Amino acid sequence: MTAQATAIANPNAKRPVSGNTLSSRKNEAMNTQPSMTEQQIEQLVAGQRHYHRTNVTLPVAFRLAQLNKFRDLLREHEEELYIAIDKDFGKSKHHTQLTETFPLFEELEMAIKNVGKWVKPRKVATNLLNQPGKSYIVPEPLGVTLVIGAWNFPYNLSLIPVVGSMVAGNTTILKPSELPAETSRVMARLINENFDANYLHVVEGGIPETTALLNQRWDKIFFTGSPQVGKIVNVAAAPNLTNVTLELGGKNPAIFAEDAAVDVGVKRLVWAKFVNSGQLCLAPDYVLVHKSIKDRVLERMVHEIKKHDYSVENGNFVRLINERNFDRIAALIDPDKVYYGGDLDREERVIQPTIMHNVTVDDAVMQDEVFGPIISVVEYDTLDEAFAIVRDLEKPLAGYLFSTNEATKQRFLREIPFGSGAINDAVMQNTNSNLPFGGVGNSGMGRYHGEYSFECFSHMKPVLEKANWVELDLKYYGHSDRQMKWIRRLG
């Protein structure tokens, strides 16, 4: 550790400091009886299947009416959403607006504006062999869908997929995460009191309810959560060959090349790392920094962190979701490697922004997704070395490069696999609905947002329609060599 680093590192890292007034707001997993029995869940799904078979969800007018109703309901009760999430993990109204409700309303408006266009068949060219004829792709609702949400952005990650399911003409059962109990409850109350259970319904609960839901036959399962549970979902979907989208997590690298624009890059990185207290699937997990700029990057990180007062009370920070996660993250902090921060408050479930340096791939913090407010800085010498570190790990949900060099950008795009990414920024790719959002390999499969959500919850059914006034004999039996040549040419 450098002399300067020693001065700013917190010697009490890993040692809990006492909390103060807000301990009564602590939240642990929801402690309730199973909200529904397996038999009730079976009936609910059967009801939705029957309802979907009546084709009532197909007309654009129906979808528009439901989407408008959903938007108006959420608008009317918006304040309740903010109160609930604040109770759950101290998330402020502005923070919730920026990261949850603004994107949710944007998705709703986009769906309302475009549903008429999206449902139309998409024309494609027809090859000569099939002339005279036309070809098109017809979007078809998948049917009865299950959406399982994660806790870290409870409205965003539960309700944006629901919008996708609705606009595509499906029926939907939502199972929000049980960890933020108040947000789960408010979503269940608003939806279940206002929508026909045969069309849209919320089932609250944890593992028993999710397991009971997964035992049903679905036409689509959309899951957001950890790779570990994603595998359970995939196994449950297999017997019925159910269409699955898995939005999972991973260790997202941020690579600072030697030619990076450090000041602006670190500013963007620090915001992306500590928004939602690092409880963000797209957050940069570790930072690979070229040795020539390491000291500068570290200094700028501290500078950027110090510019803001990271506190739950002023709305700049949120609590860690529960004590289990607090303990897990706290255990990753190696006091010998803390460059800045490391203040822990278990009572309040808050860990101040923490920078660890001289981190190696063998450190505990590099073994699994951090999902909390720790930045680990790993120094490298050559890009080959940095890329090898990334590629030795599972394919991440996001990849970030900070560089001004075109050749480095091209290498990054070509050689580093990731679900989605950014160059000279982090996380912000997710705010552009024209870009799909999803993982690859261990970080998931499938993609959504905007029109991609519509496609995610649809079967894009390809159709060839032939004219009847002529039929070429080419495809029938007894081909001569000359006919074969024609078939080959007409393709």
Touching ligand NAD, residues 407-446 (CB under 6 A)? 439, 444
Touching ligand NAD, residues 349-378 (CB under 6 A)? 369, 371
CA gap 86, 489 in Å, rounded: 66
Sole binder of ligand NAD in the list 111, 150, 257, 293 (CB under 6 A): 150
How do beta strands 243-247 and 220-224 pair? Answer: parallel
DSSP annotation of 396 reads P
Which is catalytic among the residues 178, 281, 304, 451? Answer: 281
Task: Say whether residue 161 binds ligand NAD (CB under 6 A).
Answer: no
Concerning whether 281 is annotated as a catalytic residue, the answer is yes
Q: Which stretch binds ligand NAD (CB under 6 A): 203-211, 326-334, 335-343, 471-479?
A: 203-211
> Which CB, 20 or 228, lies closer to ligand NAD?
228
As a whole number of Å, the end-to-end CA separation of the chain is 67
Concerning whether 140 is annotated as a catalytic residue, the answer is no
Q: Tell which residue, 154, 212, 209, 145, has the closest CA to residue 186.
A: 154
> Which CB, 23 or 211, lies closer to ligand NAD?
211
> Which CB, 66 or 184, lies closer to ligand NAD?
184
Task: Say whether residue 207 binds ligand NAD (CB under 6 A).
Answer: yes
CB of 478 to ligand NAD, least distance (A): 55
Task: Say whether residue 143 binds ligand NAD (CB under 6 A).
Answer: no
Which is catalytic among the residues 100, 107, 247, 394? Answer: 247
CA gap 275, 271 in Å, rounded: 6
CA atoms within 13 A on the CB side of 356: 29
CA gap 200, 299 in Å, rounded: 51
* Number of residues counted as binding ligand NAD (CB under 6 A): 27
CA gap 179, 191 in Å, rounded: 19
CA gap 357, 13 in Å, rounded: 14
CB of 477 to ligand NAD, least distance (A): 52
Is the distance from CB of 92 to CB of 126 less than 8 angstroms?
no
Touching ligand NAD, residues 442-471 (CB under 6 A)? 444
DSSP annotation of 380 reads E
Task: Look at residue 376 and give its three-state secondary structure.
Answer: strand
Catalytic residue numbers, as ranges: 247, 281
Q: Which spans of this chain sit near ligand NAD (rule: CB under 6 A)? A: 148-152, 157, 175, 177-178, 206-207, 210-211, 224-226, 229, 232, 247-249, 281, 369, 371, 397, 439, 444
